[in-house]
Amino acid sequence: MLESCRVSSLDAVFSLCANADDLRGRTGRAVGIVGPNPSANGAQNRAWAEALKALGVDAAYLPLDLAPSPDPSAALARLLAAWEPASGLVGLKVAPPYKEACVALRPDAADGAAKRLGCANTLARRDGRTVSANTDGEGMRLHLEESFGPLAGRAILIVGAGGAATGIVDALAASAGRIVIANRTEAKAAALAAFALRNHPAAKISAVSLAGLGAALAGAEVVVNTTSVGRQGPLEGFSALCPTELSPADNAAASALLLDGLKRPIAFASTLYRPERELLLRQAEERGHRVANGLGMWLYQAAAAAKDLLFPDELATVPVGRVAAALRAALEAQETPRPHAH
């Protein structure tokens, strides 16, 4: 059972936040959003409350802005010390740079994925103890299955070998037929493959450099861009399939050439959703391939956290897809900018 929260002042927690003046005096059932500046996403936080209301859950999402600190772990430790005595917060949704500290500070609280990855995005209180989970990779798995169908036995190409790729590979390893990790630095891709195989020894996981991506692409059924290449900003005009050392025009031309060489339709997804269609997804869609941006991953990681950790009693019989759909509808009703992950 989820620990019931006192409907009382949350000022002990709020006093540690940079936006304390905006929060002080708030009472009631709530989830805290922990990050450098979650209060900048007011419309998103209101959308979550509306989505929960549509599902029969009465709770607010409150931004807890933690001032920049040279020691994120110490800042989070102070917050946890104020939160854990049942202060009124159902749980915490945690954004970088605090995800790693969640597991370091409460190693015994971590579930399987959080423990394997060494970071968590959600903490909750159950039966008098703190529990934590990492639903980021699971969010992408659910999003891919909703968009492209079951993943069991399919060949998946992961582009990138950073933190996002680590969680996604971990979530896909049990079901995918084969995973190839492609990265500009092959050694980093190989290190991720080795890490994943230690946790999933029966999986088929290998690594290539971007130079060897052509053959991996030809054998893939699903391709996932986990890099920042294509994101709104300096890298927006580039495709993740090719080096960014090239000019934007040469990068786009090389990416188009790779896609033109594909003999059958495959599926392309991304962790990015700003812009709505990055260059790689636009090029793939123009050639008849199915595509999905990263918004669905964000919706599903948040939905999985709400269903399994934050409100397991109220949402026990609600499919995770319905929770994600309620959040999508609330976001569209708010006409909010695309959300920041947390």
Instruction: State the catalytic residues.
Output: 99
**And the tokens for 85?**
């005595």
DSSP state letters, 243-309: -TTS-HHHHHHHHHHHHHT-SS--EEEES--SSSS-HHHHHHHHTT-EEE-THHHHHHHHHHHIIII
For residue 121, the tally of other CB atoms under 10 A from its CB is 30
Check if the beta carbon of residue 10 is closer than 8 Å to that of residue 133: no
Question: Of 221, 340, 228, which is closest to residue 280 (Cα–Cα)?
Answer: 228
Residue 66 CB partners (closer than 8 Å, separation 6+): 16, 17, 18, 34, 35, 36, 72, 75, 76, 79, 98
Give the residues across from 270 on adjacent strands.
225
Could you tell me the CA-to-CA distances from 134 to 58, 114, 128, 249 in Å, in that order?
24, 5, 20, 38
Tell me the CA end-to-end span of the chain in Å, nearest whole number: 24
Other beta carbons within 10 Å of 316 = 9
Q: Name the maximum alpha-carbon separation found in the chain.
A: 62
Q: Which residues contact 14 (CB under 8 A, 6 or more apart)?
A: 20, 23, 24, 26, 64
Beta strands in 52-168 (DSSP E): 60-65, 89-94, 122-126, 129-133, 155-159
- The enclosing H or E element of 76 equals helix 72-83
